[in-house]
Amino acid sequence: MKPAPFDYVAPASLDEAVGAMATGGGDAKVLAGGQSLIPMLALRLARPTLLVDINRLPGLDGIREASGLLEIGALVRQRALERWAATRSPLFAEVLRHVAHPPIRNRGTVVGNVVHADPASELPAVLLCLEGVVVARGPRGERMIPADRFYRAPLTTALGPDELATAVRFTLPPPEAGWGFAEVSRRHGDFALVGAVAVVTRGDDGAVSRARLAFFGAGGTPTRALAAEQALAGRTATPALLGEAARAAAAALSPDADIHATAAYRRQVAGTLAERTLAAALARCGGAR
């Protein structure tokens, strides 16, 4: 399984990289971690004429937390974020544990995973749930693409063929918020059959002040359960309410079927995982681990 021939360039500056993408005329692909791209090259499912290797670009390997925003540069490896998260974000630590295996995470980048847009990937759903933003650079300059406008279809995003993502920004939940994360996969580290991530904040009166719930593996793109979020807002979270919200969230999904799971399975289990992650998030509210 050897790739079809391609040209290769390793630019030294972001402008050079953008220029190379433009020269590629839609047939160029960014090579960062390569953990998703190289298998596709090997299988000849992707046949770019030009690979733009961005690994030498300076200034893209930073993890910066400021004013409730977590900015992750395009060359931050998943493992680097995992190590950062070990003492700073149990949510990211738990999510990243589910992304493939350490040798993949040592090369794969956070941004690369986010823009690869595999419907069963965890990080795109986290981006949605945390209302994040993708920072894109193209020939016409830089723009921010909010998460809810970023994912279009499987493996397809709002990034133009001559744009590359230089960073992603997540809005970090406040310290008193609780989080929940769950996925079903057939083996540890596999792509999820379906998964859910939830972040909930509770007010002093005990009612839910804010809920965010996103699914992965339950459709062509990660999906926010907006109706369920609204159903929870301002209400006291009882098991019955959580179940109702979870069921409403699942009913709104249009999952796909494949050899690993039926659509009905994905819808059913999305509901179950929504319930479990919302409950876990509520239990973690107020600083409880």
Partner 1 sequence: MGAKYFGAAVRRREDPRYLRGEGRFVDDMKLPGMLHAAFVRSPHAHARITAIRTEAAKRLPGVAHVFTFADLERWMKPLPLFGAIPPGLSARVPVMMRQIGQLALCRDEARHVGEIVAMVLASSRALAEDGCELVEVDYEPLPVLADVIAAARPDAPVLYPEWGDNIALSFKAGFGDVEAALRGADARVRERFVIPRYVGMPIETRGVVAQWDARDGALTTWNGTQVVHFVQQGLVAALGLPPHKIRVIAPDVGGGFGTKANGYAEDLLIPAAAIASRRPVKWIEDRREHMMGSAHARAQVHDIEIAARRDGTMLAVRDRIWVDLGAYNSWGIVLPYNTVAHLLGPHRVPNLDVECLGVVTTKTPNAPYRGAGRPETVFAMDRIVDCLARELSMDPAELRRKNYLTEADMPYELHIPYRDGNPLVYDSGDFRAGLEAALTAVDYPALRAEQARLRAQGIHRGIGLSGYVEGTAIGPYEGATVRLDPSGHAVVATGACCQGQGHETSFAQIAADALGIPLDWVTVVGGDTAAIPFGVGTFASRSAVNAGSSIHEASGRVKEKIVAAAAALLEAAPSDIEVADGTVAVRGAPGSATPLAAVIRAAIPTFARPGVSALDFEATVYHHQPTVTYTSAVHVAVVDVDTGTGAVALRRYLVAHDCGKVINPVIVEGQIHGGVAQGVGGGLLEEMVYDEQAQLLTGTFMDYLVPTAMELPDIETVHLEYPSPRNPLGVKGIGEGGAISPPAAIANAVEDALAPFGVRVTRTPLGPSVVLGLLGRA
Partner 2 sequence: MTRTIRVTVNGQEHERAVEVRATLADFLREDLDLTGTHVGCEHGVCGACTVLLDGEPVRACLMLAVQADGLRITTIEGVAPADGLHPIQEAFWAKHGLQCGYCTPGIIMSASAFLRERPSPSREEIREMLAGHLCRCTGYHFIVEAIEAAAQALAPPTPRPTSPRE
Site for partner 1 contains 289 (CB under 8 A): no
Residue 163 C-beta: closest distance to partner 1, Å: 28
CB of 31 or CB of 111, closer to partner 2: 31
Concatenate the DSSP letters of all residues of 31-44 into one string. ESS-TTHHHHHHTT
CA distance 127 to 135: 12
Which distant-in-sequence residues (6+ apart) come within 8 Å of 32 by Cβ? 54, 55, 74, 75, 109, 111, 112
CB of 61 or CB of 190, closer to partner 1: 190
Give how many residues touch partner 2 by CB under 8 A. Answer: 31
Which distant-in-sequence residues (6+ apart) come within 8 Å of 52 by Cβ? 9, 11, 17, 20, 21, 24, 28, 29, 30, 31, 164
> Which 33-72 residues touch partner 1, going by CB under 8 A?
39, 43-44
Decide if 52 contacts 17 (C-beta within 8 A): yes
Among 14, 184, 231, 278, binds partner 1 (CB under 8 A): 184
CA distance 173 to 202: 12
CB of 71 or CB of 183, closer to partner 2: 183
Q: Which of 182, 238, 243, 177 is nearest to 210 (CA)?
A: 177
Site for partner 2 contains 39 (CB under 8 A): yes
What string marks each residue from 98 to 127 as x (binds partner 2 by CB under 8 A) or -?
--xxxxx-xx--------------------
**Residue span binding partner 1 (CB under 8 A) among the ranges 104-112, 140-148, 197-205, 271-279:** 271-279
CA distance 165 to 138: 9
Q: How far is CA 141 from CA 15, 18, 243, in A?
A: 10, 10, 46
21 binds, among partner 1, partner 2, none (CB under 5 to 8 A by kind): none
> Which 4-23 residues touch partner 2, going by CB under 8 A?
4-8, 10
Amino acid identity of residue 11, one-letter, is P
Site for partner 1 contains 276 (CB under 8 A): yes
35 binds, among partner 1, partner 2, none (CB under 5 to 8 A by kind): partner 2
Decide if 62 contacts 76 (C-beta within 8 A): yes
Residue 182 C-beta: closest distance to partner 1, Å: 9
Residues that bind partner 1 (CB under 8 A): 1-5, 39, 43-44, 184, 186-191, 193, 259-262, 264-265, 268-269, 272-273, 276
- Give the interface with partner 2 as residue ranges (CB under 8 A): 1-8, 10, 31, 34-35, 38-39, 41-43, 51, 53, 55, 79, 100-104, 106-107, 187-189
